[in-house]
Amino acid sequence: MDHISFTQLNMLLRCGEQYNRRYVNKEVLAPSGSMVRGRACHKTEEKNFKMKIDSHIDIPLEEAKDIFSDQWEQGKYQIVWTQEELGDDSPKKAEAKYKDTGIGLISVYHTELAPGVRPLKVEEKFVVKFEGGYPNLEGIIDRIDIDFVVTDMKFQAKSPTADDIAKDIQMTAYDLGFRQTFGKKPTKLKKEYSIATKVPKTMIQEADPREDETLNRFLYRLEKAMEVIQKGVFQPAPIGAWWCNPKYCGYFQSCRYRP
């Protein structure tokens, strides 16, 4: 193993067995409807902001909707619907519903948040190297704006908690990656949300760059995670963990450790 991504790290910290099945045993699960919708939204605004670096203007909203629709059509055949997503609907009806809500997510984001964005870098890859034979930490920052604000875009079903950005170790990893790439602190950390409530809405959360102590705690945690991977001893999620259920884990039904 020559590197670890934040996605891998986050899964390992939540449940070693889930990590073991996904990244060691290579049991790759099909995406849910929510995941495909989120990816399609993300790809839409990624394309918009990549063009905006040079054009300085957003693409028209109707064009953004068309990009989303194309992305959705490409991804929908991979979906394995969860029971929560289906409810009483048929897969065909759920498909139409999720496409419509995706259009709503893009529309509100593109109208309310995108106009204020001045992108410098989009999908910026970072690599943090360590001594002692440890794998690199690699990741991709959604967007870096011209004022060196590190931004993550989220298209999701529910509103975040008030302290979401403060507790989000993904933003800590982004902060670290920015410093490694640019040799300085970011100006600010920001999360932009487009939320699929009955009437779609947007939210923004901002935070100062992480304190050195916070970065160090993250690195200690990362070091321990790498030791776990090297030893191949993967502990399952704690009994009673809220994420240990079929709603959040596709391996739940076949897991030998589940409650």
Q: CA angle 175-176-179, nearest 5°?
A: 90
> Bridge-partner residues for 119, per DSSP?
145
User: What pLDDT is stored for residue 216 in this prediction?
Assistant: 94
Name the CATH code of domain 3-12+20-228 (choices 3.20.20, 3.90.320, 1.10.101, 1.10.3470).
3.90.320
User: What's the half-sphere exposure (Cβ side, CA atoms, 13 Å) at 13?
Assistant: 16
Q: Are 232 and 15 in contact (CB under 8 A)?
A: no
Give ∠ CA 125-128-133 in degrees, rounded to 5: 135
Predicted model pTM: 0.92
As a three-state string, the secondary structure of 18-58 is HHHHHHHCCCCCCCCHHHHHHHHHHHHHHHHHHHHHHHCCC
Nearest Cα residue to 144 out of 158, 160, 114, 124: 124
Cβ partners under 8 Å of residue 24, min gap 6 = 232, 234
Sequential pLDDT tens for the chain (259 residues): 778 898 999 999 999 999 999 999 999 999 999 999 999 999 999 999 999 999 999 999 999 999 999 999 999 999 999 888 999 999 999 999 999 999 999 999 999 999 999 999 999 999 998 877 778 899 999 999 999 999 999 999 999 999 999 999 999 999 999 999 999 999 999 999 999 999 999 999 999 999 999 999 999 999 999 889 989 999 999 999 999 988 889 899 999 999 8
Query: What is the structure's pLDDT at 205?
Result: 98
Predicted confidence at residue 84, as pLDDT, reads 87
CA distance 221 to 169: 11
In the chain, where the domains are located: 3-12+20-228
Distance separating alpha carbons of residues 102 and 40, to the nearest angstrom = 8
SS3 60: coil
